[in-house]
Structure 1
Amino acid sequence: MDITTWLSLATVCVMGALSPGPSLAVILRVSMSQSSLHGALAAVAHGLGIGFWAFLSLQGLAILMARYETTFAVLTLLGGLYLAWLGTKAWRFAGQGQDTTTSVSQSSYWESARDGFMIAILNPKIALFFLALFSQIMPAEMNSLVKLEIWLTVVLIDSGWYVIVALLLAGGPLLLWLRRHTIWVDRIMGTILISLGLKVVIGTLLTMLSSTV
Structure 2
Amino acid sequence: MITSTTLGLFLLSVSLLLLSPGPNMAFLLSYSTLQGPRAACAVALGIAIADVVLTLLTAGGVTAMLMAWPFMFDVLRLAGAVYLLWLAYKAWRSGGMTAMATLPRRSERDIVRMALFNSLLNPKALLFFMVFLPQFVDASLGHIGWQLCQLGAMLTVLAFVFHAVLGALAATASAYLLRRPGFARWQGRVLAMVLIGLAMRLLLMQRPAP
Matches within 5 A, 1:55-204: 55-94=56-95, 97=98, 107-140=106-139, 141-142=142-143, 146-171=147-172, 175-180=175-180, 181-201=183-203, 203-204=204-205
- How far off is 1:58 after superposition? 1.7
Mapped partners of 2:41, 2:153: distance in 1: 18
Mapped partners of 2:32, 2:157: distance in 1: 19
Mapped partners of 2:125, 2:98: distance in 1: 30
One-letter amino acid of the structure 1 residue matched with residue 128 of structure 2: F
- How far off is 1:88 after superposition? 2.2
Mapped partners of 1:198, 1:128: distance in 2: 17
Mapped partners of 2:10, 2:96: distance in 1: 41
- How far off is 1:146 after superposition? 4.0
**Counterpart in the other structure of 1:101:** none
Larger CA deviation: 182-191 vs 25-34: 182-191
One-letter amino acid of the structure 2 residue matched with residue 27 of structure 1: L
Mapped partners of 1:158, 1:127: distance in 2: 16
Mapped partners of 1:51, 1:85: distance in 2: 27
Mapped partners of 1:151, 1:90: distance in 2: 33
Asked if the contact 1:95/1:182 (under 8 Å) is kept, the reply is yes
Q: Percent identity?
A: 25
Mapped partners of 2:116, 2:11: distance in 1: 21
One-letter amino acid of the structure 2 residue matched with residue 112 of structure 1: I
After superposition, the Cα gap between the structure-2 partners of 1:115 and 1:134, relative to the gap in structure 1 and judged at 3 Å, is: same
TM-score in terms of structure 1 length: 0.77
CA deviation string 1:153-207 (max 9, x = no partner) = 01111111111111112435x6411343334423432342234224423x15xx5
**Counterpart in the other structure of 1:15:** 16
Mapped partners of 2:111, 2:68: distance in 1: 33
One-letter amino acid of the structure 2 residue matched with residue 190 of structure 1: A
After superposition, the Cα gap between the structure-2 partners of 1:96 and 1:52, relative to the gap in structure 1 and judged at 3 Å, is: closer
- How far off is 1:19 after superposition? 1.5
- How far off is 1:96 after superposition? 9.7
Aligned residues: 199
One-letter amino acid of the structure 1 residue matched with residue 192 of structure 2: G
After superposition, the Cα gap between the structure-2 partners of 1:188 and 1:33, relative to the gap in structure 1 and judged at 3 Å, is: farther
**Unmatched runs of 5 consecutive residues or more in structure 1:** 99-103, 209-213
One-letter amino acid of the structure 1 residue matched with residue 178 of structure 2: L
State the secondary structure of the residue aligned to 1:75: helix
Larger CA deviation: 108-117 vs 56-65: 108-117
Asked if the contact 2:63/2:130 (under 8 Å) is kept, the reply is yes
One-letter amino acid of the structure 2 residue matched with residue 178 of structure 1: L
Asked if the contact 1:83/1:193 (under 8 Å) is kept, the reply is yes
CA deviation string 1:8-40 (max 9, x = no partner) = 222222122111222222211221123222122
Mapped partners of 2:194, 2:97: distance in 1: 18
Asked if the contact 1:45/1:114 (under 8 Å) is kept, the reply is yes
Asked if the contact 1:18/1:161 (under 8 Å) is kept, the reply is no
